[in-house]
Structure 1
Amino acid sequence: MAEAISRRIAEGTYPPGSQVPGIVELSAEFGIAASTAQKASAHLCDTGEVRTELGLDTFAADSK
């Protein structure tokens, strides 16, 4: 799942600053547990591909 989101960011499906689907949406789309989607999202955050804003949501990171 992390690879698919990373690819979508690179391709411009989720341009810099745009909202990325939340954990519930991602777990439903990919047919995975919410905990797995959370781990993948955390990995993307750790690598700087997405950023989270507490109380808001997750967004594609600005271009590097």
Structure 2
Amino acid sequence: MDLDRTRAVWRQVAQLVIGRIKDGTYPPGSRVPSTLELATELSIATSTSQKALAHLRREGWLRGETGIGTFVADQPPAGPQA
């Protein structure tokens, strides 16, 4: 993914994850990559991927399981958010 450095990178990462949820790459209940895995894949800072995933948890797209990982919500929001 080519990131547009003139826009908030964390928002672009959030949009990428939402796109993957919507296209079935990350189905409901599945584990999503960790902040480190996303950071490595996208060549971004872990703090940036952490901010994106935290935003998606607040918006209801993801749920965190302490010590296990972050998972797609069983019923993610229907609307376009990020």
Whether TM-score is above 0.5 comes out as yes
Gaps of 5+ in 2: 1-12, 77-82
TM, length-normalised to structure 1: 0.95
Q: Which of these two proteins has the greater Rg computed from alpha carbons?
A: 2
The structure with the largest helix share of the pair is: 1
Q: Give a deviation string over 1:8-59, Cα, whole Å, max 9, x none.
A: 0011110000000001100011111000110001001010001000111000
Displacement over 2 Å in runs of 4+: none
RMSD: 0.8
Higher RCO structure, 1 or 2 (CA under 8 Å, sep 6+): 1
Aligned residues: 64
Q: Spell out the pairing of 1:28-43 with structure 2 (5 A cutoff).
A: 28-43=40-55
TM, length-normalised to structure 2: 0.75
Alignment partners' CA distance in 2, 1:41 and 1:56: 15
State the percentage of identical aligned residues: 52
